[in-house]
């Protein structure tokens, strides 16, 4: 009776009688017992039950029951079992994008590649070579899209080139991504080709304080494991989860640098922690590249709700790098990443780094070191 939760597709009708009986039911009122074709799965005593399926959100249901005792006395009237299934709340969340490919450097001679990513729900994805283009204004749709796996070929690549494509997706409830998901990569130059000297636009090895701001938007929810600059202490659970060494020097950005009394004392808990760089003025010309060292480590109680994310905040914020957790053990190992910032040329930008324990309580650690922006 009453209202069942949204998403209920099956329930059990049940009732009791004051004597042993055989009960039948009908979705239509006023049907005599002998004309009813549906008998309770469990009946013949005083407790009667039967499953019903095919329920959908937002619908009301009524089943009319009549019973027959051992003396062949049948109910002359209906006993109604009525209920509704609640409506699902409206979907207002755009699809979560992850797993962008390719990343890093493709071999010299590559003239075509495939852009690919996954979404948390069925969606239609589009892309643009320019950052900040709203979904409705994008003219290029992924060749394979509509589900959760999306891919499309891109061609015309040349040796030594840097490329960035910005992806936005729309779900079935018309929720469009409000920001860019960047897929950025370079094509290597042939062996023997002398690369142009790189000019340093910005560099931070975190040995000194260059003015990073934690929780710059005032919306962080993490209660422990907040980003800080410092000398990290090692922790381990089925392998290293926080490294006691940095990519270089003594300090790095790390989510809770202390080891604490147990491995989970200072890991990320409760949600998102963020930290933002000082303002960086990018030149108008040249190949602009952001590079950094990183790791995202987690225990097997992690999920895709946990992440390490790097965004560029310029005229329009864009995610240029993201790693997500999974239900596996992942040890802390320093790795490197590089992404093109060509679409932000001439802008003043900030680097926003976020890490999250976004699902239930799980062991999550992250670190960043040796951030550099170069111009070639």
Question: What's the pLDDT at 346?
Answer: 84
Rounded Cα distance between 370 and 22, Å, is 77
Question: What's the pLDDT at 193?
Answer: 62
Contacts of 192 (CB under 8 A, 6+ apart): none
CATH number listed for the domain at residues 199-375 = 2.60.120.200
CA angle 264, 266, 267 (to 5 degrees): 65
Rounded Cα distance between 357 and 347, Å, is 32
Length of the chain: 376
Question: What's the pLDDT at 9?
Answer: 94
Question: What's the pLDDT at 29?
Answer: 96
Give me 353's structure tokens: 């780094």
Q: Judge whether 100 and 185 are in contact, CB under 8 Å.
A: no
Report in angstroms the alpha-carbon separations of 374 from 42, 193, 246, 367.
Answer: 74, 19, 22, 21
Which residues of the chain are under the pLDDT cut of 50?
none
Give me 290's structure tokens: 């952001």
pLDDT in tens, 288-325: 999 999 999 999 999 999 999 999 998 888 999 999 99
Rounded Cα distance between 329 and 241, Å, is 9
> Each residue of 17-53: b (16+ CB within 10 Å) or e?
beeebbbbbbeeeebebeebebebeebeeeebebebe
Q: What does the domain layout of the chain look like in residue ranges?
A: 2-85, 97-187, 199-375
Judge whether 97-187 and 199-375 match in fold. no
Rounded Cα distance between 144 and 80, Å, is 50
Question: What's the pLDDT at 61?
Answer: 96
CATH number listed for the domain at residues 2-85 = 2.60.40
Question: What's the pLDDT at 192?
Answer: 67
Question: What's the pLDDT at 174?
Answer: 94
Cα–Cα nearest to 334, from 188, 228, 232: 232
Cα–Cα nearest to 86, from 64, 58, 126: 58
Contacts of 13 (CB under 8 A, 6+ apart): 25, 40, 49, 50, 51, 52, 63, 65, 81
Give me 57's structure tokens: 């959100």
Rounded Cα distance between 213 and 219, Å, is 13
Give me 46's structure tokens: 């005083």
CA angle 16, 22, 28 (to 5 degrees): 85
Ordered alpha helix ranges (H), the chain: none
Residue that has been written with the tokens 């590079």 in this structure: 291
Question: What's the pLDDT at 195?
Answer: 57
User: What CATH class is the domain 97-187?
Assistant: mainly beta
The pTM (predicted TM-score) of the whole model is: 0.56
Rounded Cα distance between 109 and 59, Å, is 59
């Amino acid at each position: 009776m009453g209202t069942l939760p949204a998403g209920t597709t099956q329930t059990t009708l049940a009732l009791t009688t004051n004597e042993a009986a055989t009960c039948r039911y009908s979705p239509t009122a006023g049907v005599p017992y002998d004309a009813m074709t549906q008998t309770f799965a469990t009946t013949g005593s005083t407790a009667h039950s039967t499953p019903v399926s095919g329920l959908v959100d937002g619908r009301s249901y009524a089943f009319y029951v009549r019973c027959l005792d051992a003396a062949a006395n049948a109910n002359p009237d209906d006993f109604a079992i009525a209920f509704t299934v609640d409506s699902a709340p409206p979907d207002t969340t755009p699809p979560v994008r992850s797993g962008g490919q390719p990343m890093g450097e493709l071999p010299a001679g590559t003239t075509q590649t495939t852009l690919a990513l996954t979404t948390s729900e069925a969606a239609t994805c589009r892309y643009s070579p320019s950052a900040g283009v709203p979904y409705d204004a994008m003219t290029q749709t992924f060749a394979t899209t509509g589900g959760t796996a999306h891919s499309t070929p891109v061609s015309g690549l040349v040796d030594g080139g840097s490329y960035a494509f910005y992806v936005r997706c729309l779900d079935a409830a018309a929720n469009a991504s409000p920001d860019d998901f960047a897929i950025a990569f370079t094509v290597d130059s042939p062996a023997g080709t002398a690369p142009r000297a790189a000019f340093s636009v910005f560099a931070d090895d975190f040995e000194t304080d260059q003015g990073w701001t934690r929780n710059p938007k005032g919306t962080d929810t993490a209660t422990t494991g907040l980003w800080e600059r410092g000398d990290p202490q090692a922790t381990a659970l089925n392998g290293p989860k926080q490294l006691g060494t940095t990519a270089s020097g003594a300090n790095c950005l790390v989510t809770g640098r202390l080891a604490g009394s147990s491995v989970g004392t200072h890991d990320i808990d409760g949600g998102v922690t963020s930290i933002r760089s000082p303002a960086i003025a990018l030149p108008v010309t040249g190949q602009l590249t952001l590079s950094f060292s990183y790791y995202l480590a987690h225990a097997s109680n992690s999920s895709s709700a946990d992440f390490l994310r790097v965004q560029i905040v310029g005229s329009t914020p864009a995610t240029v790098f993201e790693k997500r957790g999974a239900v596996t053990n992942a040890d802390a190992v320093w790795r490197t990443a590089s992404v093109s910032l060509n679409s932000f040329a001439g802008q003043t930008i900030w680097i926003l780094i976020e890490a999250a324990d976004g699902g239930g309580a799980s062991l999550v650690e992250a670190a960043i070191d040796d951030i550099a922006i170069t111009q070639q």
